[in-house]
Amino acid sequence: MLAILWSSSYAVIKIGLLGMGPMTLVSGRMMIGSCALLFVLKARSLSLPANRSSWISFFISGMLGSAIPFFLVSYGEAHVASGLAAILMGIAPVATVLLAPLVIADEHLTWHSVAGIALGIVGLTILVGSSVLLGIGEHIRGQISILAAAMCYALTTLYVRRYVTLPPPIMAAGSTLVGAIVISGMALIFEDPMSTMTSNASAIVAMIYLGLFPTALATMIYFHLIPVLGASRMSQINFIVPVLGALLGVIFLAEALRPTTLVALLIILMAIYLVIRPTRKMKNTPQAEDT
């Protein structure tokens, strides 16, 4: 479900950018998402905590996991082909798998996890075609933006896995609210939303969709899954998202189904299996069953 929600956002972002600037789009989707999540809290008789440590967690995860990467991806997609963006986003699971053992005691770097991330990169390259690699360096700022967004996602996953203990609905609402406030202020300063935003109905619908589904619903699922799956396993979603994006294009946009898409899907599924399969040590430890 999370992979489907995230994979649908890339095409919808393109539609949203037709009627507003990237900061305005991110601000709008996060304001809508935070309102939806606060409504969920109210319906479940929950509230945001008032202690300092919780709000520090909200700020770090809201900025690194939402506001900053949402803007970087929106900016990058205006200058970078979607295929190359998918390759560049592949740095997120690579960085997570390599860094997780350094900060999380029960995360381990094994030969099959290294093989898995290598296969994942191969699968992404097959999916989008090696020719997209020729575009590296053509718009360096856009590409750096995509890479920076990928690193933000990796660092957020590691931070949440290591330090966050708040319930998923509260964490989702708090982090989205903080991110929305910060990015809205930046949009007012640097972009003047009222002048850049048009009456393009498709762009408005795109912003509402992004706020309710790839932001609000996806953030709740994300915070639920990290403590369940662990950082390395969770990060593998970044490999499957581009494949699902291509398949959604076949289903909803009548795009041609290329044989390479199915080959890439099989390779990426194998890559994910190599990373998420439990080691013998994990099978024998009760803690691994909880993570």
CB 87 within 8 A of CB 124: yes
Residue 175 parent element (H or E): helix 168-190
- Which residues contact residue 214 at a Cβ distance below 8 angstroms, ignoring those fewer than 6 apart? 5, 6, 8, 9, 12, 29
Domain boundaries, the chain: 2-290
End-to-end CA distance of the chain: 19
pLDDT for residue 289: 38
The first and second tokens of residue 291, run together, are: 């993570």
DSSP secondary structure letter of residue 279: P
Please report the pLDDT score of residue 95 as a whole number: 85
Taking residue 14's Cβ as centre, other Cβ atoms within 10 Å add up to 14
Helix (H, G, I), strand (E, B) or coil at 228: helix
Per-residue pLDDT of the chain (291 residues; tens, 9 = 90+): 998 898 888 778 878 888 888 889 989 999 999 999 999 999 999 999 999 999 999 999 999 998 898 888 878 877 776 666 767 777 888 888 888 888 887 777 788 888 888 888 888 778 767 655 555 656 788 888 888 998 999 999 999 998 988 999 999 999 999 999 999 998 888 887 877 666 788 999 999 999 999 999 999 999 999 988 888 888 888 778 777 777 776 777 666 777 877 888 888 888 888 877 765 444 444 443 343
Sign of CA pseudo-dihedral 200, 28, 147, 166: negative
pLDDT for the residue 146: 85
Say what the pLDDT of residue 271 is: 83
